[in-house]
Amino acid sequence: MKIGLQLNGRSVADDVPPRLNLADFLRERRNLTGTHLGCEHGVCGACTVLVDGAPTRSCLALAVACDGRAVQTIEGLEHDPIVAVLRDAFHQHHGLQCGYCTPAMLITARDLVTRNRAGSEREIRDGLAGNICRCTGYTNIVTAILHAAATLGAKAGSP
Amino acid sequence: MSDVRGKSRFGIGASLPRKEDARHMLGRGQFVADVKLPGTEDVAFVRSPHAHARIKRIAVPPGAEDAVYAARDLPRMKAMRAVPQVQGFKPSDYPPLATDKVRFAGEAIAACIAPTRAEAEDIANAVTVEYEVLPPIVDAASAVSGAASLLHEPWGDNLFIERTMKGGDIDAAARDAAVVVRRDYRLNRQAGVPLEGRAVLAYRDHRLDELVVYSSTQVPHTIRLGLSETLGIEERRIRVIAPDVGGGFGIKARLSPEEVVLAALALERDHPVRWIEDRSEHLMTAIHTRDHLYRITAYADSRGRILGIDAELVVDAGAYALWPNGPFLETGMAARNLPGPYDIAGWRVKTFTVATNKSPIGPYRGVGRPGACFALERTIDEVARAVGRDPLEVRIENMVRPEQMPFTTIAGMVFDNGDYRESARRCADLIDLAAIRARQRRGEPDGRLVGIGFAAYAEQTGHGCGEWVMRGSPFIPGYESCTARLMSDGSLALMVGIQSHGQGLETTLAQVAHEVLGIDPARIAVRHGDTSLSPFGMGTLASRSMVMAGGAVTRASRLLQEKILKIGAHLLQCDPADVRCAAGMVVGPGSSVSIDEIARVAHLRMEALPEGVDPLLDVTATYEPELDTGVFSYATQAAVVAVDPRTGLIELLDFAVVEDCGTVVNPMIVDGQIRGGVVQGIGNALYEELIYDAQGQPQVVTLADYLMPGAAELPAIKIGHLYTPTPYTEFGVKGMGEGGAIAPPAAIGNAVRDALAAIGAEVNETPMTPRRVMAAIRRARKSAPGAG
């Protein structure tokens, strides 16, 4: 089936099998390998991307269902100012180990920060419920997001 | 005891942010599935739906004959056969693709190849296999005393090995005991679940006449050896690359049948082939772990001093012995760690390592010890209750004292140094034991019951040659290697045989080299995970990397330094005894010269070299620690729980660790390893379980069934440190990667026991699910005086 979508800000057209999921479309057809597959049944969250701005499991979304929509992956967020602050915080607070869950963690964290859902440890922990990290035990991820949210809040507050 | 943190900005003791972070945060890490090679086709496996069956016939759908490979189509593949040098151990042949029989649900029977995984799965689904179903062996304990069928017919039974290990006089302990405590404990079966599953990509490089195998493995060099043996190819013709590896935890430290099959397929096909494990395959067929059953009798005096531990241990080892070590490693580790960090005079463990129709067990963070710790630490609490004393006090009194070090346990473990009791006292402070006791007296407004529990361990790390020989390991991971190559511009490359998959070794090994040479870590590249780049190494497992590879980097850096100083002194026209390395310079009495300049001379201006000094700054060193019985990290962990007696639900309110791993290279990374290990241990304690039905059918095949800890149900993990450098390693470091995972089941088990003390219930099986907690509460109420 023919589809057309906005992918990381660019128009992309392709002819895809109806059963192709968004993750395989991104990874195999667009070489966007920063989107990782951890379970392929919507539990671990490692494949999270933004579809029309909302965090979405790309393993459960069909590519054909993204026709006409805007998809952003970690590669498309390289110059995003919020993700830049989050990257710095993850780096300083050791918020990643093997790095496999990291792109989706950053995308989810960005969503929490932009929706003002990163104000406390409790809020962040609940907000990360859909993203599994097997390495860090989450403490440093939570700390990093708290710090990033504070930094971004201070920036937004300054004239 | 000294605090060795933060001596320099980049070197040992500095919380240097990691060199490996940037690529991962930009989505530019390279895991096996990210490697793109033209013409690659995907592999899906036909896997057995039965736990135990004879294969009668394999029928390939018309038109797919060229796409399907069964064992008969890949005749060069030999069975994987682990032959540990352990007396009485019965080896098993594990064919990479099943030949006459399948021995667990999920075992691979045929490989199907197509341009995409989806199409490969279509073919796999169309292959029909006729089976003669055999009775499965599912329950290990009942299989000890005879079974309905045999997994490996020539054995005559289903025991890999039956062995009793003992020390001291257990009969004397029984005679002298004022208190006898008997309990059964069970740690159920688990998976490792690194977030990246296993993955293999293989192809032939015709120019180099080489078989190239990308694999998500912790042990690339031993995988090369395994492929050489199973495929009959010289090692010079095999290159194994482990690129970014998305977690391993032991699960990726053994040869997988899929690695052998993909390598064999690459030799048959004229295009690259890859297999990316899906999560159901992981839960059914990757290395399984734990599944220990303990029957413990503890003998103690009237103060709770433990005189002896007499135990039976049954380990459900699954269907095959994994290459190269087999399952007795797990059993032996559990048995030998049963006395824990305690001074116990009598010890006897009768062990049974049982073959069952399940995926084989192998190493997973903690190896053997979480079970031993759970059984022992729960028992210590019961001993304390039996003598009417506080479990923490009884625990501390039984611990090996600093003045007894070095101390050989009754099971032959040699503790090098440390103050185990102090870790327990500080842990009680860190978790605020007094405040929890006060809270317990007040009670909870919601009717829940709060409890606190402690558990301690000593973790053998960085063990050398003698220890591995004693364990009967076919290969002896008693050393590591490093090639240090100073480039002509003074930048440095370290090629190491270990493999980093989240531990941050690209950063910490650069810190170690910086400590010796003074070169900025930003100018040091650590290369690992490629058999063509580095000398042979045993890989990252057994909490050995910082001791072993850190030691090898230190040695290689010192060799470089010797030569650098010699050349530097010559350039400065002074005596080599009068120069030293500092901050990237060689400093003499009156002047200095940069290492960059020395590197330039060594490569490009040999006329300036001193007489008798060869060009290049390129050295290879190996390192084995001075003490081959290992250096012991240790810790006490504490858990605070709230148990709802109406639902059985456990909430973990707080968790604390006070540990000592000697000199800390990077405190930030060490704390990260502790927290990660602890949370895996919490999964062990509360959530994770692989369940099989009576037919040997796996009941847990997705992450919706296999629950792992998420951010929402965890507290922040508190950490405290003691610093006791060991005299037996470079810089006094000890390994510590696994420790965090050892004690949480025990600490949480004791906390639950404490919470349910008034009811008299105890939960002696992991995971401590609401169902198990409620069953324990009902049992206790039924047997309580006056119940009926």
CATH at residue A98: 1.10.150.120
Instruction: Using a CB–CB cutoff of 8 Å, tell me whether B20 touches chain A.
Output: yes
Interface probe, candidates A121, A139, A142, A147, chain B, greatest B C-beta count within 10 A:
A139
Residue B385 identity (one-letter amino acid): R
Q: What is the ipTM metric for this complex?
A: 0.98
B27 and A34 in contact by Cβ < 8 A? yes
Do A92 and A46 belong together in one domain? no
Residue B382 carries which DSSP code?
A: H
Interface probe, candidates B24, B218, B674, B703, chain A, greatest A C-beta count within 10 A:
B24
pLDDT of B649 > 80? The answer is: yes
- By mean pLDDT, which of B185-199, B456-470, B708-722 is the weakest? B456-470
3-state secondary structure of B200: strand
| Per-residue model confidence (pLDDT) at position B157 | 96
Q: Which of B623, B648, B671 is the last residue of a domain?
A: B623
- Buried b / exposed e across B719-747, counting CB within 10 Å, b at 16+? bbbbbbbbebbbbbbbbbbbbbbbbbbbb
Q: Which of B561, B588, B623 is the last residue of a domain?
A: B623
Q: Is residue B414 part of a domain?
A: yes
B24 and A27 in contact by Cβ < 8 A? no
Note down the domain range covering B527: 21-28+479-623
Do B580 and B434 belong together in one domain? no
| Per-residue model confidence (pLDDT) at position B542 | 85
Q: Is residue B495 part of a domain?
A: yes
**Residue A108: alpha-carbon gap to chain centroid:** 5
Q: Name the burial class of residue B620, with classes exposed (0-12), middle (13-18) and buried (19+) by CB atoms within 10 angstroms of its CB.
A: middle
- Calculate the alpha carbon distances from B687 to A125, B451, B677, B769 in Å: 18, 19, 15, 7
- Buried b / exposed e across B692-708, counting CB within 10 Å, b at 16+? beeebbbebbebeebbb
Q: Is residue B142 part of a domain?
A: no
Backbone angles phi, psi at B643, to 5 degrees: -110, 130
A4/chain B closest Cα distance in angstroms: 22
Q: Is residue B155 part of a domain?
A: no
Distance CA B538, CA B549 (A): 10
Nearest residue to A126 via CA among B712, B250, B776: B712
Do A34 and A64 belong together in one domain? yes
B366/chain A closest Cα distance in angstroms: 14
Domain count, chain A: 2
Q: Which of A19, A42, A77 is the last residue of a domain?
A: A77
| Per-residue model confidence (pLDDT) at position B285 | 98
Do A95 and A151 belong together in one domain? yes
Do B320 and B266 belong together in one domain? no
Do A71 and A85 belong together in one domain? no
Instruction: Using a CB–CB cutoff of 8 Å, tell me whether B381 touches chain A.
Output: no
Note down the domain range covering A93: 81-157
- Buried b / exposed e across B759-779, counting CB within 10 Å, b at 16+? bbbbbbbbbbbeebbbebbee
A107/chain B closest Cα distance in angstroms: 10
Do B279 and B292 belong together in one domain? no
Interface probe, candidates A86, A97, A131, chain B, greatest B C-beta count within 10 A:
A97
3-state secondary structure of B764: coil
Band of pLDDT at residue A33, cut at 50, 70 and 90: very high
Query: What is the per-residue pLDDT across B132-178, written as a single tens digit (0 to 9) for each?
Result: 999 999 999 999 987 789 999 999 999 999 999 999 999 999 999 99
Do B680 and B547 belong together in one domain? no
The label of the residue with tokens 């053998």 reads B460
B676 and A34 in contact by Cβ < 8 A? no
Residues making up chain A, counted from first to last: 159
A28 and B116 in contact by Cβ < 8 A? yes
Do B54 and B202 belong together in one domain? yes
Q: Residue B255: enclosing H or E segment and its boundaries?
A: none
Q: Is residue B87 part of a domain?
A: yes
Do B710 and B764 belong together in one domain? yes
pLDDT of A159 > 70? The answer is: no
Q: Name the residue facing A102 among B25, B680, B710 (closest C-beta).
A: B25
Nearest residue to B332 via CA among B218, B463, B173: B463
Q: Name the residue facing B703 among A27, A39, A94 (closest C-beta).
A: A39
| Per-residue model confidence (pLDDT) at position B784 | 79
Q: Which of B599, B623, B647 is the last residue of a domain?
A: B623
Band of pLDDT at residue B476, cut at 50, 70 and 90: confident
Do B74 and B208 belong together in one domain? yes
A96 and B21 in contact by Cβ < 8 A? yes
Do A60 and A94 belong together in one domain? no
Q: What's the CATH number where B91 sits? A: 3.90.1170.50
Do B235 and B277 belong together in one domain? yes
| Per-residue model confidence (pLDDT) at position A154 | 81
Do B654 and B696 belong together in one domain? yes
pLDDT of B3 > 70? The answer is: no
Q: List CB contacts of B198: < 8 A, sequence separation 6 or more.
A: B215, B216, B251, B252, B256, B258, B277, B282, B286
B502/chain A closest Cα distance in angstroms: 4
A97 and B675 in contact by Cβ < 8 A? no
Q: Is residue B573 part of a domain?
A: yes
Q: What is the DSSP string of B13-60?
A: T--PPPTTHHHHHTT----GGG---TT-EEEEEEE-SSSSEEEEEEEP
Do A65 and A110 belong together in one domain? no
Q: Which residues of A touch B712 (CB under 8 A)?
A: 125-126, 128-129
Q: What's the CATH number where A49 sits? A: 3.10.20.30
Q: If contacts are CB pairs under 8 Å, which of residues 563-622 in chain B contact chain A?
A: none
Q: Which residues of A touch B22 (CB under 8 A)?
A: 91
| Per-residue model confidence (pLDDT) at position B474 | 87
Band of pLDDT at residue B487, cut at 50, 70 and 90: very high
Q: How many CA atoms lie within 13 A of B130 on its CB side?
A: 3
Instruction: Using a CB–CB cutoff of 8 Å, tell me whether B24 touches chain A.
Output: yes
Query: What is the per-residue pLDDT across B35-88, written as a single tens digit (0 to 9) for each?
Result: 999 999 999 999 999 999 999 999 999 999 999 999 999 999 999 999 888 999
Domain count, chain B: 3
Please give the mean pLDDT across all residues of chain B. 96
pLDDT of B293 > 50? The answer is: yes
Compute the radius of gyration of chain B from its Cα atoms: 27
Q: Residue A115: enclosing H or E segment and its boundaries?
A: none
Do B632 and B606 belong together in one domain? no
pLDDT, mean of residues B601-619: 97
| Per-residue model confidence (pLDDT) at position B145 | 86
B717/chain A closest Cα distance in angstroms: 7
Q: A16, A23 in Cβ contact below 8 A?
A: no
pLDDT above 90: percentage of residues in chain B: 93
pLDDT of B5 > 90? The answer is: no
Backbone angles phi, psi at B528, to 5 degrees: -145, 170
Nearest residue to B522 via CA among B499, B492, B561, B554: B492
B195 and A132 in contact by Cβ < 8 A? yes
Query: What is the per-residue pLDDT across A81-131, written as a single tens digit (0 to 9) for each?
Result: 999 999 999 999 999 999 999 999 999 999 999 999 999 999 999 999 999
A135/chain B closest Cα distance in angstroms: 5
Q: Name the residue facing B502 among A31, A37, A135 (closest C-beta).
A: A135
| Per-residue model confidence (pLDDT) at position B454 | 98
Query: What is the per-residue pLDDT across B242-275, written as a single tens digit (0 to 9) for each?
Result: 999 999 999 999 999 999 999 999 999 999 999 9
Interface probe, candidates B15, B23, B31, B195, chain A, greatest A C-beta count within 10 A:
B195
| Per-residue model confidence (pLDDT) at position B4 | 45
| Per-residue model confidence (pLDDT) at position B2 | 38
pLDDT above 70: percentage of residues in chain B: 99
Do B293 and B277 belong together in one domain? no
Q: If contacts are CB pairs under 8 Å, which of residues 41-100 in chain B contact chain A?
A: none
Do B575 and B598 belong together in one domain? yes
Peptide bond into B770 cis (omega under 30): no
Q: Which of A77, A100, A127 is the last residue of a domain?
A: A77
B521/chain A closest Cα distance in angstroms: 16
Q: What's the CATH number where B526 sits? A: 3.30.365.10
Distance CA B247, CA B385 (A): 40
Structure tokens at B560: 């470089």
Number of A to B CB contacts under 8 A, please give it. Answer: 172
Interface probe, candidates B18, B20, B21, B655, chain A, greatest A C-beta count within 10 A:
B21
Band of pLDDT at residue B778, cut at 50, 70 and 90: very high
Query: What is the per-residue pLDDT across B490-540, written as a single tens digit (0 to 9) for each?
Result: 999 999 999 999 999 999 999 999 999 999 999 999 999 999 999 999 998
B29 and A100 in contact by Cβ < 8 A? yes
Q: Is residue B760 part of a domain?
A: yes
B716 and A98 in contact by Cβ < 8 A? no
Q: Is residue B370 part of a domain?
A: yes
State the pTM of this model.
0.97
Q: B451, B641 in Cβ contact below 8 A?
A: yes
Peptide bond into B243 cis (omega under 30): no
Do A61 and A93 belong together in one domain? no
Q: Which of A57, A77, A97 is the last residue of a domain?
A: A77
Q: Which residues of B touch A103 (CB under 8 A)?
A: 24-25, 27
Distance CA B436, CA B446 (A): 16
Nearest residue to B202 via CA among B216, B190, B187, B183: B216
